[in-house]
């Protein structure tokens, strides 16, 4: 197999040839059809997430075909298309696993961070954390559902019953979840990196009621704000734009420091929340909902060997939608 490998943080990924891995007990070997490039991968490559397995094959939005089943695996057949998300394994017995909060497991494995991921021609995944996907359709447009979609979905759910939603940072997750929210009848206002006119135009093209720089005032009070950009300064801005009793939900795994802000921004029962990882229930829910919606997926394709270019384009804000590697 071929894989793009991170040997040390803050160095480019390197193409390696490796022997085809044999799936272990409870595992599947997949032939990768597509793997999305997520901002979390950037945080791993840039050393902002500090506990990777090294060397590591990044990538946690894997769409692949089952090639081999390890001992004890049932419910999958060779050739079947499956998706593998960020949550790669949980312990099953810690207090979080025991209370339907496996996203907070004390002893988890994360795909593309603490177990090898999908920037490769082949990948091995825990079958219990792999999900059947539709056989039809372009794998490049399915891949972003597996993190941008799933984490976006958990973020949207955490906002509760909100009909006016602000989305801060209009990348892969926002482009999916804005469409979900709009199709649920919500009004979405997009807030983009100041001066990023293409991102604002992209948001409007997907049905956002408005799109403006993130330092501009909101056109109306928000019931909830979802923050996908890794920018802590957005937290007080989003709180200021949110009505009494509203929620500000941070959907990312890493963020720059949040500046000090007056208590008045939080008072009146505004809630400030973060989303960590996903549960398999989130995955089942969203992956069955997504095909019923008319989602316009913007996948920007790169050959596997150009994973570094994809990461650089994401870091520098040069792409609209989701970057996807095709082996």
Binding site for Zn ion (CB under 5 A): 38, 40, 90-91, 94, 97, 105, 147
Tell me how many helices (H) and strands (E) the chain has.
Answer: 8, 17
In the complex, minimum distance from the CB of residue 130 to Zn ion, in angstroms, rounded to a whole number? 16
Closer residue to Zn ion (CB): 177 or 265:
177
Do the bridges between strand 14-17 and strand 222-227 make them parallel or antiparallel, or are there none, so unpaired?
Answer: unpaired
Q: How far is the CB of 217 from Zn ion (least distance, A)?
A: 31
CB of 90 to Zn ion, least distance (A): 5
DSSP code of 120?
B
**Comparison of 94 and 216: residue with beta carbon closer to Zn ion:** 94
Rank residues 36 and 236 by Cβ distance to Zn ion and give the closer one: 36
Least distance in Å: CB of 138 to Zn ion? 20
Rounded to a whole number of angstroms, the distance between the first and last alpha carbons of the chain is 10
- Measured from the CB of residue 296, what is the shortest distance to Zn ion in angstroms? 20
Q: Report residue 315 CA to chain centroid gap.
A: 15
Q: What is the DSSP string of 132-191?
A: E--SSS-HHHHGGGGTHHHHHHHHHHHT-S-SEEEEES-SHHHHHHHHHHHHTT-EEEEE
CB of 84 to Zn ion, least distance (A): 12
Q: How many CA atoms does the CB half-sphere of 220 hold within 13 Å? A: 10
Contact status, residue 131 vs residue 286, Cβ threshold 8 Å:
no
| Shorter beta-carbon distance to Zn ion: residue 169 or 236 | 169
Residue nearer to Zn ion on the CB measure, 113 or 168: 113
Under a CB-based contact definition with an 8 Å cutoff, are residues 105 and 129 in contact?
no
Buried b / exposed e along 206-215 (16+ C-beta atoms within 10 A): bebbbbbebe
Tokens of 150: 């799933």
Pick between residue 200 and residue 227 the one whose CB is nearest to Zn ion.
Answer: 227
Which one, 35 or 190, has the nearer CB to Zn ion?
Answer: 35
Closest contact distance (angstroms) between CB of 275 and Zn ion is: 11
């Amino acid at each position: 197999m071929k894989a793009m490998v991170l040997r040390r943080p803050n160095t480019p990924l390197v193409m390696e040839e490796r022997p085809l891995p044999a799936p272990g007990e409870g595992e599947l070997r997949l032939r990768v059809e597509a793997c999305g490039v997520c901002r979390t991968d950037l945080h791993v490559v840039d050393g902002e997430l500090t506990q990777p397995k090294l060397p590591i094959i990044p990538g946690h939005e894997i769409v692949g075909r089952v090639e081999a089943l390890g001992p004890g695996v049932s419910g999958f057949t060779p050739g079947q298309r499956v998706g593998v998300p960020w949550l790669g394994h949980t312990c099953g017995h810690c207090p979080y696993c025991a209370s339907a909060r496996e996203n907070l497991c004390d002893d988890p494995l994360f795909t593309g961070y603490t177990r090898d991921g999908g920037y490769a021609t082949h990948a091995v995944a825990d079958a219990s954390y792999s999900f059947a996907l539709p056989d039809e359709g372009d794998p490049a447009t399915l891949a972003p559902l597996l993190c941008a979609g799933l984490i976006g979905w958990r973020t949207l759910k955490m906002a509760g019953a909100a009909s006016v939603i602000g989305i801060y940072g209009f990348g892969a997750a926002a482009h999916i979840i804005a469409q979900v929210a709009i199709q649920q009848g919500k009004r979405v206002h997009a807030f983009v990196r100041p001066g990023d006119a293409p991102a604002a135009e992209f948001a409007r093209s997907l049905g956002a009621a408005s799109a403006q720089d993130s330092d501009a005032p909101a056109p109306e009070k928000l019931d909830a704000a979802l923050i996908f950009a890794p920018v802590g300064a957005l937290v007080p801005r989003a709180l200021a734009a949110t009505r009494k009793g509203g929620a500000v939900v941070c959907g990312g795994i890493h963020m720059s420091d949040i500046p000090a802000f007056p208590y008045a921004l939080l008072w009146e029962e505004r809630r400030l929340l973060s989303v960590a990882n996903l549960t398999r229930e989130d995955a089942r829910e969203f992956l069955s909902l997504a095909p019923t919606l008319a989602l316009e997926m913007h996948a920007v394709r790169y050959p596997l060997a150009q994973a570094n270019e994809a990461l650089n384009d994401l870091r520098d804000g040069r792409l609209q939608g989701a970057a996807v590697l095709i082996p």
